[in-house]
Structure 1
Amino acid sequence: MKIFAALLCLFIVQIIGILLLEYRRPQRAVAWLALLFCCPPLGLLIYWAMGRDYRMNRKLKGREAETRRGLHRHAEDRSQAVTSAEDTGNPELTGRSELLRLLSGLTESPVTGRNMTRILVNADETYDSMLEAMEAASEHIHLEVYIYQDDETGEKFQDVMIRKARQGVKVRLLLDGLGCRKLSRRFVRSLSAAGVEVHRFLPPLASLPAGRFNYRNHRKILIVDGLVGFTGGINIGDEYLGKDPKMGFWRDTHLRLEGDAVYFIQHIFLKDWRLASGERLSHPRLFPVHACEGKEAVQIIGSSPGAAIDASEAMIFGALSAAEKRIWIETPYFIPDPAILRALKTAVLRGADVRIIIPDKPDHPFVYNASLSYVEDLLDAGVKFYRYHKGFMHAKIWIADGLMASVGSVNQDMRSFYSNFELSAVLLHPKRIEELAGQFQRDLEESEAMDMNGFGKRGKAARAKEEVCRLLSPLL
């Protein structure tokens, strides 16, 4: 009887602890409580390893803040911030200063005006451009990815990094500890032997006992000589070229940048490098004066679980609130929180054309089923959903009227909003916005519309599976 009473007290303490720690995010609290009730001892262990708030780690917060102050000074000194909507070069933003103020307040990275961008469609075009830039490097190459595969594509990048390192170029490679867990030690040793510095971000064996296992670095970054930058949705591997027979064609989007915005991509990379390696890098040569003559307005938005503001979610919510004509979204994973759901429905009521393209085939069935659980409710509200059937849809695109668009690593799910280190480039130039809109329309031609007549008739078993996945999705 005493043992039973002790276990009951422990169980109650666990429940109280989760409620106190997760009160900011009710959906996460409900998911953790469901897991705890299903398997009390295991639930607590999983929460200890994966669920603790990143912001509670004072050591990591202190290190990040210390690094941020020095780096931001270099980036700010070299760049030209856009302070008025009229200076963005976008006529639709005239008189919409509230949107610019929102964007400027989200992160330390301002909207900058001296930029030139190029939208890269799919991995073949992206890899060609990245490798060309790396071959031209004379000072440094900084590469940060969530997934790096030891295959033909991975070897191409490896060869360039080794060759440039031997030429005296400083090459730094930052790998996510979980996403790159399959990368062999042999592969990494060959890089290190040539002088490439390689570090892993929150490797599983180190992050598990510290309760940081669930926090992943999902960014995709390449900076060459501090003058050319890349970001978007594409990792390094053959599957992104469509060579995986299971997934087939891989639809994705990346971005090449020159100008002020590169300083802030560099700023984010160096912060991540400091967290992973302990090395503080802030030399002015990492932020060289550029000669870019472009006039595009761009903002780099980095979000992390340790930030005071969930910048990625706030940026998307701001776009939803500002749009009056169209909201077009491409995302592989769609697990929105209640605020985003309400914003989507409200946008439809305002008369906006809300369209969302998701994959027809899943790479993660659990997440896919959780995504489908939101579709019927939003279809009923007037949101239009499409399944991309040419291959796998992995692009992460937002388009709000002609006001703004974003390209980056952020999925439309709570993991990207709250648990991942992410990066997006917000584009305000009308030409780039319409270029992305044109690609969206081409993707629609390869997609099939979902409707209540078809999707709404799925069986009870499918609905039950979707609801279970939805309940537990905040944990993943």
Structure 2
Amino acid sequence: MVWLTSILCIYLFQIVTIVLLEYRRPSKAVAWLIILFIFPLIGFVMYYFLAQEYKKRKLVRKKEKQALNLDEKKERVYTQEPESAASMRSEFLRKEPRLFRLLDSFPEAPITCRNETTVLTNAEKTYAAMLQAMEQAQHHIHVESYIVRDDIIGRTFRDVLERKSREGVEVRVIVDGVGSYHLPSDYLLSLRRAGANAEIFLPPSLAFFDKRMNYRNHRKIVVVDGRVGFVGGINIGDEHLGADAKLGFWRDTHLRIIGEAVHTLQDTFLTDWFFVSGETVSGDVYVPPYAGTGEEEVQIITSGPDKHWDAILEMYFAAICAAREKVYLTTPYFIPDASIGMALKVAAASGADVRIIIPGTPDSKLVHWASLSYLEELMEAGVRFYQYQKGFVHAKTMVVDDMLASVGTANLDLRSFFSNFELNAVLFHGESIRRLAEDFAQDLRDSKQVTLEAFRHRPRLARGREMVARLLSPLL
């Protein structure tokens, strides 16, 4: 009986520990308790190494402050603001002053006012634009990607980076340790032999023993000479060009930016670079003044486990709540937290046209089942769902009225909102918003609507696996 009592005490200790540490996120606590129930000891070991709160926030913020004087950069961006752009800001603020006061209050995310943006639909156009910009680099090329493959397009990028490095251009590359787990070490070694600098963001072994395995750098950034920047959903790999036989055509969205918003992209990259390398990179050559005539307002918003604010989640929530006419969302992974779910319901119930495109052919069945578990309750409130049929949809976009749009790396799921290092560009210019709305309309034509009546009659087995997947969704 003594050994049984001891086992019970240990088991209760594990339960209490998880509840006390995760009480702020009940859904996450429930998911880990299920794992603990199925695997009593192994589950707690997994929790210890994978799920504990990020412990080095203060250290990361200290490094950020040392690496970059963000306040000075913000001041420089705003002092360059022309009167016409200031008038544009006032016009937007008159429409939704509370929303834009919130956006303007995000730390380290200035609303820059002199930009030119180009929406890049799918990887073929995106890769061509990136490689062209890299070929024209004079001083530096900065690349950060969640996934880099050692395949045809991956080697194309590597060859250009190596050649530019040999020409004297500064090259810095960051890949995520989990996302690029299968990238051979020779890939980065080849870059280093050519004079480029290449680092891994939280290598899996280090992250595991440092209890940060659950945190992934999901950002995709390219900055060339501090003047041209790229951000969006596209990694570097042939699957984005349709090479995956299972997924087929890959539908994605990226953004090219020229102007002051590139400074924020640069700040983000250099902060991440300091984190992985310990090297402080600064100087006016990395944030050159914008000499163009663009007057588009763009805001670059970052989020991650090292931040006080869940800024991207808050941007989504506030924008959806402000919608009067329409909310168009595209996401490959749909696992909303309670606030986003409620915002979508309220927007649809109050008369806004709320439409969401999700994959018809998923790359992860478990995540897909978890996504489907949310559909019925949202469709009952008037939200309309569509499953993309042409291939795999990986774009992460939002259009709200004619007011704003977002293109970035964050999915509409709990991992992106709370665990990953993410980055989204918020657009306020009418032409960019219209272009994204047109792409959404085309994607609707390539999708099949999920009807409430048919969805209610899905098999019980499907309902059961969706229920289980939803319970585990905070861990996905």
Tell me if TM exceeds 0.5.
yes
Name the SS of the counterpart of 2:434 in structure 1: helix
Map 1:75-90 onto structure 2 (within 5 A).
Answer: 75-79=74-78, 80=80, 87-88=87-88
Name the SS of the counterpart of 1:214 in structure 2: coil
Measured at CA, do residues 91 and 57 of structure 1 come closer, stay the same or move farther in structure 2, by a change above 3 Å?
A: closer
Name the SS of the counterpart of 1:217 in structure 2: coil
The answer as to whether partners of 1:142 and 1:224 remain within 8 angstroms in 2 is yes
Post-superposition Cα deviations, 1:347-402, rounded to whole Å, max 9, x if no partner, equal 01211000000010010111111001101111111100001100100000011111
Following the alignment from structure 1 to structure 2, what is the Cα–Cα distance between the partners of residues 195 and 166?
7
The one-letter code matched in structure 1 to 2:304 is S
2:427 maps to which residue?
Answer: 427
The answer as to whether partners of 2:139 and 2:169 remain within 8 angstroms in 1 is yes
2:195 maps to which residue?
Answer: 195
Segment drifting more, 90-99 vs 322-331:
90-99
The answer as to whether partners of 1:63 and 1:275 remain within 8 angstroms in 2 is no
Following the alignment from structure 1 to structure 2, what is the Cα–Cα distance between the partners of residues 29 and 283?
45
2:213 maps to which residue?
Answer: 213
Map 1:15-414 onto structure 2 (within 5 A).
Answer: 15-54=15-54, 56-58=55-57, 60-67=59-66, 70-79=69-78, 80=80, 87-88=87-88, 93-414=93-414
The answer as to whether partners of 2:359 and 2:392 remain within 8 angstroms in 1 is yes
Tell me, which stretches of 5 or more residues in structure 1 are unaligned?
A: none
Measured at CA, do residues 85 and 141 of structure 1 come closer, stay the same or move farther in structure 2, by a change above 3 Å?
A: closer
Following the alignment from structure 1 to structure 2, what is the Cα–Cα distance between the partners of residues 238 and 229?
22
TM-score (norm 2): 0.96
Measured at CA, do residues 421 and 277 of structure 1 come closer, stay the same or move farther in structure 2, by a change above 3 Å?
A: same
Post-superposition Cα deviations, 1:439-472, rounded to whole Å, max 9, x if no partner, equal 1001111111110222221111111101111100
The answer as to whether partners of 2:18 and 2:33 remain within 8 angstroms in 1 is yes
Kindly indicate whether residue 439 of structure 2 is the aligned counterpart of residue 436 of structure 1. no
**Shift, 1:58, TM fit:** 5.0
> Percent same amino acid at aligned positions?
49
The answer as to whether partners of 2:362 and 2:368 remain within 8 angstroms in 1 is yes
Following the alignment from structure 2 to structure 1, what is the Cα–Cα distance between the partners of residues 336 and 67?
30
**Shift, 1:61, TM fit:** 3.3
Measured at CA, do residues 65 and 161 of structure 1 come closer, stay the same or move farther in structure 2, by a change above 3 Å?
A: closer
Segment drifting more, 282-291 vs 171-180:
282-291
Measured at CA, do residues 85 and 34 of structure 1 come closer, stay the same or move farther in structure 2, by a change above 3 Å?
A: farther
Name the SS of the counterpart of 1:320 in structure 2: helix
The one-letter code matched in structure 2 to 1:342 is M
Post-superposition Cα deviations, 1:233-281, rounded to whole Å, max 9, x if no partner, equal 0000111011211111000000000111000000001111111112222
The one-letter code matched in structure 2 to 1:57 is K
Segment drifting more, 387-396 vs 16-25:
16-25
Tell me, which stretches of 5 or more residues in structure 2 are unaligned?
A: none
Name the SS of the counterpart of 2:297 in structure 1: strand
Name the SS of the counterpart of 1:216 in structure 2: coil
Following the alignment from structure 2 to structure 1, what is the Cα–Cα distance between the partners of residues 421 and 458?
36
Post-superposition Cα deviations, 1:41-97, rounded to whole Å, max 9, x if no partner, equal 01111111110111x325633444434652452354245469999733695653422
The answer as to whether partners of 2:305 and 2:420 remain within 8 angstroms in 1 is yes
The one-letter code matched in structure 2 to 1:445 is R
Measured at CA, do residues 191 and 81 of structure 1 come closer, stay the same or move farther in structure 2, by a change above 3 Å?
A: same
Post-superposition Cα deviations, 1:270-317, rounded to whole Å, max 9, x if no partner, equal 111111112222222211122121000110001111111101100000
**Shift, 1:133, TM fit:** 0.2
The one-letter code matched in structure 2 to 1:61 is V
The answer as to whether partners of 1:88 and 1:429 remain within 8 angstroms in 2 is no
The answer as to whether partners of 1:85 and 1:96 remain within 8 angstroms in 2 is no
The one-letter code matched in structure 2 to 1:128 is A
The one-letter code matched in structure 2 to 1:271 is T
Following the alignment from structure 1 to structure 2, what is the Cα–Cα distance between the partners of residues 67 and 370?
41
Following the alignment from structure 1 to structure 2, what is the Cα–Cα distance between the partners of residues 86 and 99?
17
Q: What is the root-mean-square deviation in Å for CA atoms of aligned residues?
A: 1.8
The answer as to whether partners of 1:408 and 1:425 remain within 8 angstroms in 2 is yes
Name the SS of the counterpart of 1:307 in structure 2: coil
Measured at CA, do residues 378 and 68 of structure 1 come closer, stay the same or move farther in structure 2, by a change above 3 Å?
A: farther
Segment drifting more, 161-170 vs 29-38:
29-38
The answer as to whether partners of 2:231 and 2:424 remain within 8 angstroms in 1 is yes
Following the alignment from structure 1 to structure 2, what is the Cα–Cα distance between the partners of residues 443 and 390?
9
Following the alignment from structure 2 to structure 1, what is the Cα–Cα distance between the partners of residues 271 and 86?
32
Following the alignment from structure 1 to structure 2, what is the Cα–Cα distance between the partners of residues 299 and 58?
24
Following the alignment from structure 1 to structure 2, what is the Cα–Cα distance between the partners of residues 436 and 97?
24
Following the alignment from structure 1 to structure 2, what is the Cα–Cα distance between the partners of residues 69 and 352?
42
Following the alignment from structure 1 to structure 2, what is the Cα–Cα distance between the partners of residues 84 and 237?
41
Following the alignment from structure 1 to structure 2, what is the Cα–Cα distance between the partners of residues 352 and 82?
34
The one-letter code matched in structure 2 to 1:431 is E
Following the alignment from structure 1 to structure 2, what is the Cα–Cα distance between the partners of residues 140 and 219?
19
